[in-house]
Structure 1
Amino acid sequence: MDTPQIKKAPTVYDVAIVGSGAGGGMAAYTLAKAGAKVVLLEAGGYYDPADPKYITQLKWPWESPRRGASTEARSGGDFDAAWGGWEIEGEPYSTVAGTEFGWFRSRMLGGRTNHWGRISLRFGPDDFRRRSITGVGDDWPIAYEDMKPFYDKTDKLIGVFGTNLPDFPNEPDGFFLPPPKPRLHELMLRKAGKSIGIPVVPSRLSILTKPINNERGQCFYCHQCNRGCQAYADFSASSVLCIPAVKTGNVTLVNGAMAREVLTDPQTGLATGVSYVDKATLQEITVRAKAVMVAASTCESARLLLNSKSSRFPTGLANSSGVIGKYLNDSTGASRSGFVPALMDRKRYNEDGVGGMHVFTPWWLDNKKLDFPRGYHIEYGGGMGMPGYGFGGGIESLNGKIPGRDGQMKQAGGYGKGLKDDYRRFYGAYISMAGRGEPVPLESNYCEIDPTRVDKYGIPTLRFHYKWSDYEVKQAKHMQDTFEEIIHAMGGIALGSKPGPDSGHGYGLAAPGRIIHEVGTVRMGNDPQKSALNKFQQAHDVKNLFVVDAAPFPTQGDKNVTWTILAASMRASEYFIDQVKQKNI
């Protein structure tokens, strides 16, 4: 029993980490394994996909409480492991007139890694030196060689399937598990791509096709990775990093902790801890730490640092350069779908596979010969997966006649037996493709603190300024031309009208923020006047402050960023450990 007369001194942790996604989870895991005492602050709730309380995997569609409908708190529907979305009650944000940005927030242990596509691509050598190659944008302060050891460690720790691609030097070799075999539509995509000079190769996803340790199972091909895997066969920061880190006894996890401010010592300027609002009680609580690592996600991390003002840091913590919030950029995105008559009347069998694509197209062209400076990759969908609520079979999209069983042309759809017959015939005959590309970061695309609005916790909110440039619009046009070429090479029919310059943000280009790959608001660089962090993601102004999500990245890459977040966070964490041993921090 505690002695009432004696007041305990507050716990001072070695490190306070804000955010438990890819960056925060990897930092917590790396530091905990090294023996550091860590407090891990997560704004959302606890989540473990193997706990019966949270399992939605392998449930039938009709078990969905709202028949699969989404809500503000469950943007992907009842069964998707996404707690959060673009709009969260009590957590507003705004955009300046004439601009647009959708800010997705994940509110759960493990963050967005619970419901992402598991596409796990390394940045290649060219991705770190885009300005040197094209004269547009910026180079990173590091090269691929600096990151390679940590990509290698991440491959081995987490597991990723795929193959080495010797013909693509900007798709570096890795340590890959066997990839799953292509499904029928993917075989057809590969054949069509070969006929027109577009590569279609095995994809790289962080899903275990073979077990890599005794604590995780291997994929059993239910195609439901978005629901969270109770076998831990896919990668989520919650199951693979955070929960094992907590089990070491070195990590104190605090859920429902809405970070308000990184605290500093007024004399030294060093970080001393984090102030957060307990979402359940609305009380403000302080945790003390010898160092702070911010990994709240790109925009949330910028918000936290901009809100961390003091007489020593009047424009926000670590912001003497004035760049925090600037150079925000999200992946470009455009898509198209098609109907492939050769895939009609298929024999029924389990074609689920992994919860994502078995093949993809890496960037295959030379931008010097094009009218836009950055590339994109293509993600493919299709097959005979389990239908869910809202499955329409695509009949309405054909908008005309199709061949009947007797070979005669007939109107698709209708009602009764004829409608059911068409659904059966068309099931599995549709394919989709989506481009995910690299934008050029612009200083004019940024987030800032809204001077007039706070959220329900009393924390000032963000205001966004964002517009695509002509580079991204031209890239989207190229995507659409490529999609149609692939569909026609398959003998398919492209559905709907081809997106033109007035479609979306131009040629079907998605609105900024909708691809949810944003990077760049707390950029790293060698010049403290033009960057907030050094090459180890350590603040120039505050030596015991690190940012370990995607906010430090100077550029996006034509690849999904999660694998680079993981590797860079591991690199920063190991550097931190070394600096502590040398008594530099």
Structure 2
Amino acid sequence: MDLFQIKKAPTVYDAVIVGSGAGGGMAAYMLTKAGAKVLLLEAGGYFDPADPKYITQLKWPYESPRRGASTTRPGGDFDAAWGGWDIEGEPYSSKPGAEFHWFRSRMLGGRTNHWGRISMRFGPDDFRRGSISGVGDDWPIGYDDLKPFYDRVDKLIGVFGSVENFPNEPDGIFLPPPKPRLHELMLKKAAKGIGVPVIPSRLSILTQPINKERGQCFYCHQCNRGCQAYADFSSSSVLCIPALKTGNLTLQNNAMVREVLTDQKTGLATGVSYVDTITMQEVSVQAKTVILGASTCESARLLLNSKSARFPNGLANSSGVVGKYLNDSTGASRSGFVPALMDRKRYNEDGVGGMHVFTPWWLDNKKLDFPRGYHIEYGGGMGMPGYGFGGGIEALNGKIPGRDGKMKPAGGYGAGLKDDVRRFYGAYIGMSGRGEPVPLESNYCEIDPNSVDKYGIPTLRFHYKWADAEIKQAKHMQDTFEEIIHAMGGIPMGNKPGPEQNYGLAPPGRIIHEVGAVRMGNDPNKSALNKFQQAHDVKNLFVVDAAPFVSQGDKNVTWTILASSMRTSEYIIDQVKAKSI
């Protein structure tokens, strides 16, 4: 008698979607609106930021059950991130000296519940980097292919911003941006003086209502907790829950997908097999079309684990590129103390959940010693203090300006400490660069032959190293940060990272913008997917997260995931009507 049995679901769905983040959520929304019967599989639990069971917005720090103890959650106790870089029972590994940090979310909507809502379009040059610079590869599509879908995403979801006419920073259909706060006005003035542009941010937060289902931002600065007014974009609230309301979507939470199933005669996908993480029972489901939106590395893992006699190297991998050309945004940061921001009258300066201004890439890489650009994200202001708030006075080498202008020891205790904290509250600014790397075949993930997770599914092993181009880019970031801080009359905090620290370049994976690993292209020998994110080898298999992306861009990738998934979904609908799949 078999102790382990596979349960087979009787329904044959028009499509099964793996993953409920930006790509999977958009596919579910588009296909169910078109009348398709869809099964959406999510490895984590159900989440609705407007349901009282899940609301953490507007809670005070002291309401945490941990009461200030160190949290095990990467974004804090109230952050809408169920998961992290390390999840019990779900290991991954890296080759020595080539580490990659893999962030995973286990909840409806995935990472879109707690991200920064930075919603920029890729520009025309981002799709043809190989042709322009001779470094890297071109996409099989261009900006004009995605522009109609970017426009539709802007209208469907909502994004604030301003028309600036930057050649490679395309303008969108914008809601009014929030006004810059005091530190941002100072940043803008100082940066302009040294030739660095600072413009209103582009965030998917509703500064005006766009429909009856969603509210308007009330400026609590807590978007990362999930918005109970649905005033920001999360796949859970804006895509998945509306898709459920069509009656055409079946949602299965706690479903850890093991592999994509195929017909060995035709080679077509027939469905997927998943492990119910509650009962630990394995279930197979049938569908006419299989769509992966499980996140870049997870989609690659699924394809590599979907081996058979017909597909011995994994599914959609006759080219051998699945897992390769993995790349994450570069990232480096610096903070500064600005004496002119001391002794401020305290008032609510929370604003939206993120930056009100940013710097798009403003230079010509042909005149620099690295081939790709970056944008700058700014932080600061008098936000709600959190655990351990002390104003940062300890970072000024123990000395601060007293009320008489003379330097004195920082902090102390009692009334003196309180006075110092009040004086320095809001007098700090921070800036982070987020840049584009050059995708390399040598940066990859593969199946670890010696490890499985607690569900018995083989895990990933990574190999990732920053190249000289990214290290030089980080140096440029640090030089720019210091120049801006000095232009504000500020004092850079701590010591400037040097070459021995890669100029503060964050470890690969820490920025959580990874793309690639199931890249698209026109040549089936060099790519896994075609220009519609359809597998060359399996015509009813599609990938709609960031895994198909040929390169990163110096922008955050979510808006491009959404536009690409919308485009792919419409292609699927057209192909079904034409009886081509």
The TM-score bracket by the shorter chain reads over 0.9
1:103 counterpart residue number:
102
Q: Distance in 1 between matches of 2:224 and 2:338?
A: 26
TM-score by length of 2: 0.98
1:130 counterpart residue number:
129
Query: Which letter maps to 1:535?
Result: K
Check if 1:474 corresponds to 2:500. Answer: no
Shift of 1:98: 1.7
Shift of 1:68: 5.1
**Alignment deviations for residues 426-464 of structure 1 (CA, whole Å, 9 cap, x no partner):** 000000000000000000000000001000000000000
Question: Which segment is superposed worse, 538-547 or 396-405?
Answer: 396-405
Q: Does the aligned pair in 2 maintain the 1:69–1:78 contact within 8 Å?
A: no
Q: Distance in 1 between matches of 2:549 and 2:413?
A: 53
2:4 counterpart residue number:
none
From 377, 380, 388, give the equivalent of 1:379: 377
1:435 counterpart residue number:
433
Alignment of 1:299-314 (within 5 A): 299-314=297-312
Q: Distance in 1 between matches of 2:343 and 2:126?
A: 44
2:564 counterpart residue number:
568
Question: Which segment is superposed worse, 545-554 or 412-421?
Answer: 412-421
Note closer, same or farther for the CA distance 1:472–1:231 as it changes in structure 2 (3 Å cut).
same
Q: Distance in 1 between matches of 2:68 and 2:363?
A: 40
Alignment of 1:386-405 (within 5 A): 386-405=384-403
Q: Distance in 2 between matches of 1:136 and 1:68?
A: 48
From 550, 554, 557, give the equivalent of 2:550: 554
Q: Distance in 1 between matches of 2:140 and 2:277?
A: 38
Q: Secondary structure at the match of 1:11?
A: strand
**Alignment deviations for residues 126-180 of structure 1 (CA, whole Å, 9 cap, x no partner):** 00000111000010000000000000000000000001111x1101121000000
Shift of 1:515: 0.2
1:19 counterpart residue number:
19
Shift of 1:70: 5.9
From 352, 355, 375, give the equivalent of 2:353: 355
Alignment of 1:248-287 (within 5 A): 248-287=246-285
Q: Distance in 2 between matches of 1:98 and 1:419?
A: 43
Q: Distance in 2 between matches of 1:310 and 1:110?
A: 31
Q: Distance in 2 between matches of 1:428 and 1:512?
A: 31
1:410 counterpart residue number:
408
**Alignment deviations for residues 451-493 of structure 1 (CA, whole Å, 9 cap, x no partner):** 0100000000000000000000000000000000000000000
Query: Which letter maps to 1:49?
Result: P
Q: Distance in 2 between matches of 1:63 and 1:547?
A: 41
Q: Does the aligned pair in 1 maintain the 2:9–2:286 contact within 8 Å?
A: no
**Alignment deviations for residues 352-381 of structure 1 (CA, whole Å, 9 cap, x no partner):** 000000000000000000000000000000
Shift of 1:392: 2.4
Shift of 1:402: 2.4
Check if 1:200 corresponds to 2:198. Answer: yes
Check if 1:531 corresponds to 2:530. Answer: no
Question: Which segment is superposed worse, 56-65 or 388-397?
Answer: 388-397
Alignment of 1:134-533 (within 5 A): 134-166=133-165, 168-503=166-501, 506-533=502-529
Shift of 1:71: 4.8
Query: Which letter maps to 1:143?
Result: G
Note closer, same or farther for the CA distance 1:492–1:453 as it changes in structure 2 (3 Å cut).
same
Q: Distance in 1 between matches of 2:343 and 2:119?
A: 34
Q: Distance in 2 between matches of 1:233 and 1:64?
A: 24
Q: Distance in 2 between matches of 1:99 and 1:424?
A: 44
Shift of 1:67: 2.9
1:80 counterpart residue number:
79
1:36 counterpart residue number:
36
Q: Distance in 1 between matches of 2:94 and 2:104?
A: 16
Shift of 1:248: 0.6
Note closer, same or farther for the CA distance 1:300–1:372 as it changes in structure 2 (3 Å cut).
same
TM-score by length of 1: 0.97
Query: Which letter maps to 1:524?
Result: M
Q: Secondary structure at the match of 1:502?
A: helix
Q: Distance in 1 between matches of 2:69 and 2:473?
A: 33
Q: Does the aligned pair in 1 maintain the 2:9–2:285 contact within 8 Å?
A: no
Q: Does the aligned pair in 2 maintain the 1:70–1:76 contact within 8 Å?
A: no
Query: Which letter maps to 1:60?
Result: W
Note closer, same or farther for the CA distance 1:69–1:547 as it changes in structure 2 (3 Å cut).
farther
2:3 counterpart residue number:
none
Q: Does the aligned pair in 1 maintain the 2:163–2:171 contact within 8 Å?
A: yes
Shift of 1:232: 0.2
**Alignment deviations for residues 173-214 of structure 1 (CA, whole Å, 9 cap, x no partner):** 210000000000000000001110000000000000000000
Q: Secondary structure at the match of 1:450?
A: strand
Q: Distance in 1 between matches of 2:456 and 2:420?
A: 55
Note closer, same or farther for the CA distance 1:361–1:39 as it changes in structure 2 (3 Å cut).
same
Unaligned segments of structure 2, at least 5 residues: 1-7
1:3 counterpart residue number:
none
Q: Does the aligned pair in 1 maintain the 2:9–2:283 contact within 8 Å?
A: no
Runs of 4+ in 1 over 4 A off after TM superposition: 68-72
Q: Does the aligned pair in 1 maintain the 2:198–2:358 contact within 8 Å?
A: yes
Q: Secondary structure at the match of 1:87?
A: coil
2:5 counterpart residue number:
none
Q: Secondary structure at the match of 1:14?
A: strand
**Alignment deviations for residues 282-304 of structure 1 (CA, whole Å, 9 cap, x no partner):** 10001110000000000000000
Q: Distance in 1 between matches of 2:451 and 2:523?
A: 33
**Alignment deviations for residues 495-545 of structure 1 (CA, whole Å, 9 cap, x no partner):** 000110112xx0000000000000000000000000000000000000000
Q: Secondary structure at the match of 2:431?
A: strand
